[in-house]
């Protein structure tokens, strides 16, 4: 998924650094998991992983891509066909006719609320498909026809499919005023790949709260927000799809249709607060190896990162690794921000205890 800070293209760099430092298995915690790209790769490499994040959609990704094993789909035989696998179920969902519901109503120009604000997040056809798929998997889950693993795998596939046809430039803080080519394609879920492994887990929680309660573990992989942009306001639609709208819906507000608490702000995205949060987290968590991704333009200054890690790590084990990286950029950035170029450096700060 298009996501600020998504590390998919840096996985090789991250795993390479872990190898160079001799970190090759054990328990790993990724408390800012986002799309779960790193947590999933760590699972693939044989770690027993705990993936967590404050956002519900990130919990869905963690649950689907890290915690899930073989999904139980046998309750769908009458709807989908005998002994269905995940591919069969995804194909079935892709063929369902769209039935307009919450997303259609709020996020398309054809919905009564969407029309009031001129919202063009999805074409009416795609929005109706999102509504149908979301309602169908919820019903299957509520009726006990699929288990939790299946529910989260299908929900993750829907959130990613919706993102591919969203009429945005990458974040949901605004929509484009004409239909983009990607938005005109028909919504298509893809079958998620299941990575097998044991004892992996996902949670939705604040990073510091989680790390306060965890017993000692081997690897702490940190990838906190690195700028002042707040995820709840930038990804409110994936969040709504993840949470669902089945307990009476949500009272959305503003031009973009934010949920009531979408202006909640993480300390990690606040200048002045992030340094304190970082220091407290490093001091509190009981890690043996710490590896932190941080962008060269991040709001925690490099000398602070170094000081904190050296203070809490074993002498002589601190090292910073560097990788040039083509920056994540959405068109909406261009209006407000100036860049010195498209290349930034992504760093891995490492220390051991």
Ligand X SMILES: C[S@@+](CC[C@H](N)C(=O)[O-])C[C@H]1O[C@@H](n2cnc3c(N)ncnc32)[C@H](O)[C@@H]1O
Applying CB under 6 A, which residues contact ligand X?
3, 5-7, 31-35, 37-38, 53-55, 58, 206-207, 223-225, 231, 266, 268
How far apart are the C-alpha atoms of 63 and 82, rounded to whole Å? 26
Q: Smallest distance, Å, CB 197 to ligand X?
A: 18
| Range list of H helices, the chain | 11-20, 37-44, 56-62, 77-80, 86-95, 102-107, 112-117, 124-142, 148-164, 181-184, 207-213, 231-234, 236-243, 274-284, 302-312, 331-336
How far apart are the C-alpha atoms of 81 and 92, rounded to whole Å? 10
Q: Smallest distance, Å, CB 205 to ligand X?
A: 7
Q: Smallest distance, Å, CB 277 to ligand X?
A: 7
Q: Smallest distance, Å, CB 206 to ligand X?
A: 4
The residue written with tokens 């170029």 in the block is 341
Q: Smallest distance, Å, CB 3 to ligand X?
A: 5
Q: Smallest distance, Å, CB 212 to ligand X?
A: 12
Coil, helix or strand at residue 187: coil
Tell me whether residue 3 or residue 245 sits nearer to ligand X (CB atom).
Answer: 3
Tell me whether residue 31 or residue 111 sits nearer to ligand X (CB atom).
Answer: 31
Tell me whether residue 32 or residue 102 sits nearer to ligand X (CB atom).
Answer: 32
Tell me whether residue 93 or residue 219 sits nearer to ligand X (CB atom).
Answer: 219
Q: Nearest residue by C-beta to ligand X?
A: 5
Coil, helix or strand at residue 271: coil
Tell me whether residue 165 or residue 292 sits nearer to ligand X (CB atom).
Answer: 292
Q: How far is CA 111 from the centre of its chain?
A: 28
Q: What value, to the nearest 5°, has the Cα angle with vertex 99 and ends 93 and 102?
A: 105
Proportion of the chain in helix, strand, coil states, percent, rounded to 5? 45, 15, 45
Tell me whether residue 147 or residue 239 sits nearer to ligand X (CB atom).
Answer: 239
């Amino acid at each position: 998924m298009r996501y600020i800070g998504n590390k998919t293209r840096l996985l090789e760099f991250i795993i390479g650094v872990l190898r160079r430092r001799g970190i090759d298995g054990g328990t790993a915690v990724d408390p800012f998991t986002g799309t779960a790209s790193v947590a999933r790769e760590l699972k693939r490499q044989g770690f027993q992983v705990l993936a967590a994040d404050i956002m519900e959609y990130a919990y869905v990704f963690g649950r689907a891509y890290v915690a899930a094993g073989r999904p139980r789909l046998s309750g769908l035989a009458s709807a989908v066909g005998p002994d269905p696998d995940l591919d069969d179920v995804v194909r079935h969902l892709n063929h369902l006719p769209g039935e307009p519901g919450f997303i259609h109503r709020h996020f398309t120009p054809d919905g009564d609320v969407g029309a009031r604000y001129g919202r063009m997040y999805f074409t009416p056809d795609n929005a109706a498909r999102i509504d149908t798929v979301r309602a169908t998997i919820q019903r299957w889950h509520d009726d006990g026809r699929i288990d939790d693993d299946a529910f989260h795998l299908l929900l993750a596939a829907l959130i990613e499919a919706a993102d591919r046809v969203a009429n945005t430039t990458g974040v949901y803080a605004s929509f484009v005023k004409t239909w983009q080519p990607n938005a005109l394609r028909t919504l298509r879920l893809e079958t998620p790949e299941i990575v097998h492994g044991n004892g992996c887990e996902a949670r939705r929680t604040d990073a510091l709260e989680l790390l306060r309660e965890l017993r000692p573990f081997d690897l702490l992989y940190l990838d906190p927000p690195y700028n002042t942009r707040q995820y709840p306001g930038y990804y409110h639609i994936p969040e709504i799809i993840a949470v669902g709208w089945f307990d009476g819906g949500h009272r959305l507000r503003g031009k973009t249709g934010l949920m009531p608490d979408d202006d909640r702000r993480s300390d990690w995205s606040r200048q002045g607060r992030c340094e304190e949060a970082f220091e407290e987290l490093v001091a509190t968590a009981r890690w043996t190896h710490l590896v932190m991704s941080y962008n060269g333009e991040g709001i925690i200054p490099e000398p602070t990162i170094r000081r904190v890690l050296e203070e809490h790590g074993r002498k002589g084990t601190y090292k910073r690794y560097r990788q040039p990286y083509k920056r994540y950029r959405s068109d909406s950035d261009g209006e407000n921000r100036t860049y010195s170029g498209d290349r930034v450096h992504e760093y891995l700060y490492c220390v051991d205890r």
